[in-house]
Structure 1
Amino acid sequence: MNKIPLKAQHLLVFVAVAVLFFAWGAWLMRSGEVHPLANLQQWRDTLLQPLAEDELTLREVQALAPGELWLAPRLDGARLFYRASLDGEEGGWLLEAELRLSLEQRDGLMAAQGLQAGGTELALGQSLVDQMAGFSIVSLNLRAPQALVSDRLAASLGQPRLTLELAEGQAWVYPQWGLTVHLQGDEVQLLHAVPRKAFRATR
């Protein structure tokens, strides 16, 4: 039986080691990639962009995430919120959208429910959700799940146009969507969005 020459054996070992080395390097590169959040890219198109253009209604939000209306009888005036949960690949998000109401509508809701300013929040029936489906959304909060790193958000929305240092944490500002992202350390805490025109008026 013919034996492989010693030099050829050394060459085979060298090739095998080289192949393993490059495979390991490729695996490290792949594992170091930051993948965008598919859900956040979808919400950018279905929630953030329409809200930025002041065209988002309760109907679109409800279609994406079934939830409940809550009446908050605050001292500075009643406010009506739609609250729901959104499932993301990295965990559950909490959505809160405030409806645009006139002063008369606010007072009417308070009177109909028998609430006083400063009282306890009250969940309203599904029939009211259907009746108010055409109402505009004036602001939107998306509370992120725990341990969502900012790199993944940046991979989904791009780098912010402005970064602000806050007393606690940091804020990334995306004026094109009227969006402010609040971060604590390297983790995303909250996305707060309003129509672009309202966003510009406050800055």
Structure 2
Amino acid sequence: MSPRTGVRLVTIFSAVVLAFFLFGDWLARRDAPEPLAWYETYRESLWQPIQDRSLTLLQADQALGRGHLWMISADGEPALVSRYNLESDDRLWQAQAVIGLGAEEMESLVEAQAWEPGIRDQPVSPAVGEALGDRQILRMSMIPVEPLELNRIEGTFGSPDVRMPVSEGEAWVYPRAGAVVAVGEEEAFSIMFGLRDES
């Protein structure tokens, strides 16, 4: 074999090997789960402040548009929430923010709304929201209208640090992101932010 032929063969072999590597890289990127767009969009305006315990109702309204206030029953206890609708990642979502109230404020609201345990969700006057703009958001849940594929969760947060069995399925816990995902039957039903990473 002449030196010239040897150089040609080495060049062809190198080109083929490079093509295989590039094809493999393309396949890996194509099959990689795509992260949820809203997570990055609201990272600085919502998720980091809520983890730092600094997110207020007014800031949530500024990020997501003015929400609608509801008085709900959460495990038999009253809670005031603000709800927002948004479209992202080819589906509709509801964001639900739990507003922190003092004991006297909650008692007053319970009386004004004639709230009782187990009662259906009740709308609350927007004027209440205007008066409570500086109140802290304790936690916020992102709830897809249709359940979400688990690979989208893993593409956004990675593998869960902890998987906890719950009454219906599992809770995937991501302490560094301050998030807990409700999982059942190989699908995700909600993503709650507000978990404090104490590590």
TM-score, normalising length from structure 2?
Answer: 0.74
**In 2, Cα distance between equivalents of 1:155 and 1:45:** 19
One-letter identity of the residue aligned with 1:47: L
One-letter identity of the residue aligned with 1:112: A
**In 1, Cα distance between equivalents of 2:164 and 2:138:** 23
Q: 1:1-25 CA deviation, whole Å, 9 max, x = no partner?
A: xxxxxxxxxxxxxxxxx9xxx8xx6
User: Quick check: which has more Rg, 1 or 2?
Assistant: 1
- How many pairs are equivalent? 176
Cα distance, 1:85 vs structure 2: 1.1
Q: 1:140-196 CA deviation, whole Å, 9 max, x = no partner?
A: 221124252121222222332222234432221111233211112332111122251
Gaps of 5+ in 2: 1-15
Gaps of 5+ in 1: 1-17
Report if the CA contact (8 A) 2:79-2:98 is conserved.
yes
Matched, 1:137 2:137: yes
Q: For the structure 1 residues 177 and 71, does the alpha-carbon distance in structure 2 shift closer, same or farther, using more than 3 Å as the test? A: same
**In 2, Cα distance between equivalents of 1:129 and 1:192:** 22
Report if the CA contact (8 A) 1:41-1:157 is conserved.
no
| 1:80 aligned counterpart, secondary structure | strand
Report if the CA contact (8 A) 1:140-1:192 is conserved.
yes
1:122 equivalent in structure 2:
122
**In 2, Cα distance between equivalents of 1:40 and 1:74:** 25
Report if the CA contact (8 A) 2:78-2:115 is conserved.
no
1:11 equivalent in structure 2:
none
Cα distance, 1:70 vs structure 2: 0.9
1:178 equivalent in structure 2:
178
Q: For the structure 1 residues 156 and 110, does the alpha-carbon distance in structure 2 shift closer, same or farther, using more than 3 Å as the test? A: same
Report if the CA contact (8 A) 1:52-1:176 is conserved.
no
| 2:41 aligned counterpart, secondary structure | helix
1:111 equivalent in structure 2:
111
Question: Alpha carbon RMSD of aligned pairs, Å?
Answer: 2.7
**In 1, Cα distance between equivalents of 2:112 and 2:142:** 29
